[in-house]
Amino acid sequence: MAEQAAGESAREIAVDALSENQAQAELARLAELLAQANRAYHTEDAPEISDAEYDSLKRRNLEIEERFPELKREDSPSEQVGSALAEGFGKIRHAQRMMSLSNAFDDDEVRSFDRGIRRYLGLDDAAPLPFTAEPKIDGLSLSLRYENGVLIQAATRGDGATGENVTANARTIDDIPQQLDGAPELLEVRGEVYMSHADFESLNQRQEARGGKPFANPRNAAAGSLRQLDPEITRARPLKFFAYAWGELSAPLAETQMGAIQRLAALGFQTNPLTRLCDGPQEMLDHYASIEEQRATLGYDIDGVVYKVNDLALQARLGFRSTTPRWAIAHKFPAELAWTRLEAIDIQVGRTGALSPVARLTPVTVGGVVVSNATLHNEDYIAGRDASGTPIRDGKDIRVGDWVQVYRAGDVIPKIADVDLSKRPDDAVPYAFPETCPECGSEAIREEGDAVRRCSGGLICPAQAVEKLKHFVSRAAFDIEGLGAKQVDQFYRDGWVSEPAEIFTLRERYGSGLQQLKNREGWGEKSAKNLFDAIDEKRKIELGRVIFSLGIRHVGEVVANDLARHYLGWQALISAVDTARPAAERYRRAEQAVEAERMAAKAEGRRARLKEIRDAAWAEDPAVSPEARAAWDDLVGVDGIGQIVAVSLVTSLGQEAERASIDRLIAQLNEIEAPERPATEGSPVAGKTVVFTGSLEKMTRAEAKARAEALGAKVSGSVSKKTDIVVAGPGAGSKEAKAKELGVELMDEDAWLALIGG
């Protein structure tokens, strides 16, 4: 009653004259009014107040919250930057996984979707099986959690299991109600955040007017806008939301998909007006055709039509595969295509020397995006064949001057699908793929079995050197604050840094004296000092990062960390690799002999004698010492490391110039940290080398490895004298035999679990 009285009078009072009681009542009144205004505007299509009035209510609400921050409501119509920042993008585990959809690309696949469901449910052809059909919105999915009708959390899809907490940002989207009337106590609403074409155009105009980079398409704009740390920025971006599904619920919304969508609409959500109930595949395909016809004039991007079994009890029976429901499918529109002229083919040289052909095109719009470059993959692709020599595009090659068909599928780099031979200029000649590197002139070699031609210039090739430097400073490598791709480019161009070690001598060379970093354009006293300090900070660094930073082919982040865990120190790794080198070279020669035999056998139409050839090649070279052989076996036995990775590692650390450059880098570092050993006191398997083989039934291979490592064991992929335990499941073959031969302790999965305590 007191609150009522306070409320009655509060609305007339200036914000700075409000008492605390009055402020509280006023905030409640404003929350209710604004929620009602949103409902009226969006669901009843009948705004009750003007935009100006709406804005002034929102402003008043914000001012009161600013004066009485402790009174800010959970369902506040506005959001404060501070609170959102504190919230950051924490992770939210979805109470129920957010699923994706399997795809159908033609009418037959839609019909077989219907047949498959009938088979699964044991329904004959005559039994009714209605589906809903609705546009597939090209935005990003969002899960909204309401408790007692109040929005308490919004999370992006993430990997399906865990998403990002974007609650503060979601609250700024007008299509998302803050409060629901008559909703189940617990309700998770799922749908798509998107941006209309008109809003996208004007956002891009604003972006460009203030010198920002325009967004490539509405989906990127929507994603970029939702994932802003400052909700005020999200608020200024006109995002929209369609509800089409749900997650956890305390009570069912309806008995059918269509009923549930209607219920969501009644609760105040936007649902797609093109959602239809269809009695079977023919009606679904008809509706697909009708949606496709309207696609260009809808005013927002869609990329297909989603069909869902209408009966929710049947949906429950059908359930899910690992990441997709059995009861729904997305019928995708064909990829967007356009024809244009191929003006030139440029060759880009990457970090590992790969020569990648890039098509330069007369700019053309493909699905709303202007495309002027496309990938041409490799020389075989240009020549009209795949890696095994089989023709693609009916064997048509691609020539400069050709009329080519470009397509984009999803977010990927544009590709060339086809060539129109009738438009080929008379003077067009087959493209001669360069056999020397366009950047440094070194020979570009294509090795047996490699689809890619590579520059052999190594560090003398400027393109490789600069790409290697960029890799060196990247996030999973040295990650030096203030030193990104742009700075690396500049330093390299000006001759300040030509290899990683020189990053660490920058202070010495350009911290004082005639030429100084702080005097360069774009730098100052403070930023120069910050950079030097950030570089010094990385003189102490983890081993895995050092290995990854070298940019060795096939040695990615995961392999680098596997190596670090196995060797535990730079010196141990490098001496193992050096010791193993003769064996690695013999392996390479043996594989070459095997490859030659394979080709010869194919040409002569006989069976290849691969094992014989391989054994002979290994046997013939007495120069490989038992130590070399043991070091090689140990290296290829590191779990996750195969022979190809091992050869790449051994070879690149054996190249003289490359190795000298690495040694110079190592000399600049103060401490290379071994990976942290798990606390393994009392562990029965600490320090032991374990091999898992055969199929495991109580856990996955990845899980078994993770648990063993957590207990301080080393997990290896091959059995040798160094192996302590072999855990063999059903179907274990040669590894089990080898364990017996070497007298290594052998146990089954249950015995292993008993050993490690369950």
Residues of this chain that bind ligand IVH (CB under 6 A): 99-101, 134, 136-137, 141, 157, 192, 244-245, 306, 325, 328, 330
Instruction: Assess whether 722 carries a catalytic annotation.
Output: no
User: Beta strand pairing status for 328-332 and 103-104?
Assistant: parallel
When the beta carbons of 306 and 546 are compared against ligand IVH, the nearer one is: 306
Closest residue by Cα to residue 191 from 74, 272, 70, 312: 272
Q: How far is the CB of 305 from ligand IVH (least distance, A)?
A: 8
When the beta carbons of 157 and 454 are compared against ligand IVH, the nearer one is: 157
Closest residue by Cα to residue 475 from 418, 371, 549, 379: 549
Q: How far is the CB of 194 from ligand IVH (least distance, A)?
A: 9
* Count of alpha carbons within 13 angstroms of residue 719, beta-carbon side: 23
When the beta carbons of 76 and 143 are compared against ligand IVH, the nearer one is: 143
User: Beta strand pairing status for 454-455 and 444-445?
Assistant: antiparallel
Closest residue by Cα to residue 229 from 91, 94, 83: 83
When the beta carbons of 56 and 96 are compared against ligand IVH, the nearer one is: 96
Q: Which residues pair with 672 in a beta bridge?
A: 541
When the beta carbons of 99 and 480 are compared against ligand IVH, the nearer one is: 99
Q: Which residues pair with 154 in a beta bridge?
A: 144
Tell me the C-alpha to C-alpha distance, in Å, between residue 562 and each of 44, 143, 166, 543, 692.
59, 36, 35, 10, 16
When the beta carbons of 30 and 189 are compared against ligand IVH, the nearer one is: 189
d(CA 123, CA 661): 69
Q: Which residue has the tokens 């006191």?
A: 681
Which tokens is 648 given? 């790449």
- 120 SS3 class: helix
Residue 380 Rama label (left phi>0; alpha psi -120 to 50; beta): alpha
- 84 SS3 class: helix
When the beta carbons of 248 and 615 are compared against ligand IVH, the nearer one is: 248
d(CA 713, CA 742): 20
Which tokens is 103 given? 């795809």
Q: How far is the CB of 156 from ligand IVH (least distance, A)?
A: 10
Q: How far is the CB of 242 from ligand IVH (least distance, A)?
A: 7
User: Beta strand pairing status for 689-693 and 725-728?
Assistant: parallel
Closest residue by Cα to residue 716 from 735, 742, 699: 735
| Longest distance between any two alpha carbons in the chain, whole Å | 101
d(CA 378, CA 354): 9
When the beta carbons of 137 and 503 are compared against ligand IVH, the nearer one is: 137
Q: What letters, b where the CB count within 10 A reaches 16 and e where it falls short, cover 703-717?
A: ebbebbbebbbbbbb
Main-chain dihedrals φ then ψ at residue 321, nearest 5 degrees: -85, -165
Active-site residue, selected from the candidate residues 72, 136, 470, 688: 136
Q: Are the C-beta atoms of 19 and 3 separated by less than 8 Å?
A: no
* Count of alpha carbons within 13 angstroms of residue 749, beta-carbon side: 16
When the beta carbons of 224 and 484 are compared against ligand IVH, the nearer one is: 224
Q: How far is the CB of 101 from ligand IVH (least distance, A)?
A: 4
- 147 SS3 class: strand
Q: Which residue has the tokens 């089409």?
A: 244
Closest residue by Cα to residue 343 from 431, 453, 422: 431
When the beta carbons of 242 and 548 are compared against ligand IVH, the nearer one is: 242
Residue 384 CB coordination number (10 Å): 16
d(CA 39, CA 28): 17
Q: How far is the CB of 250 from ligand IVH (least distance, A)?
A: 19
Residue 568 CB coordination number (10 Å): 15
When the beta carbons of 222 and 404 are compared against ligand IVH, the nearer one is: 222
Q: How far is the CB of 712 from ligand IVH (least distance, A)?
A: 40
Tell me the C-alpha to C-alpha distance, in Å, between residue 347 and each of 323, 385, 449.
39, 19, 21
When the beta carbons of 245 and 528 are compared against ligand IVH, the nearer one is: 245
Q: How far is the CB of 231 from ligand IVH (least distance, A)?
A: 22
Q: How far is the CB of 190 from ligand IVH (least distance, A)?
A: 7
Q: How far is the CB of 299 from ligand IVH (least distance, A)?
A: 16
Count each helix (H run) and each strand (E run) in the chain, helices first.
28, 24
Q: How far is the CB of 320 from ligand IVH (least distance, A)?
A: 8
Residue 615 Rama label (left phi>0; alpha psi -120 to 50; beta): alpha
- 566 SS3 class: helix
Q: Are the C-beta atoms of 523 and 498 separated by less than 8 Å?
A: no
Q: How far is the CB of 66 from ligand IVH (least distance, A)?
A: 36
Q: How far is the CB of 100 from ligand IVH (least distance, A)?
A: 4
Tell me the C-alpha to C-alpha distance, in Å, between residue 313 and each of 254, 310, 318, 321, 323.
10, 9, 9, 17, 20
User: Beta strand pairing status for 745-747 and 725-728?
Assistant: parallel
At a CB cut-off of 8 Å and minimum separation 6, what does 624 contact? 582, 583, 586
- 305 SS3 class: strand
When the beta carbons of 50 and 100 are compared against ligand IVH, the nearer one is: 100
Closest residue by Cα to residue 312 from 247, 253, 248, 242: 253
d(CA 739, CA 724): 9
| Closest residue to ligand IVH: CB criterion | 141
What amino acid positions are annotated as catalytic residues? Answer: 136
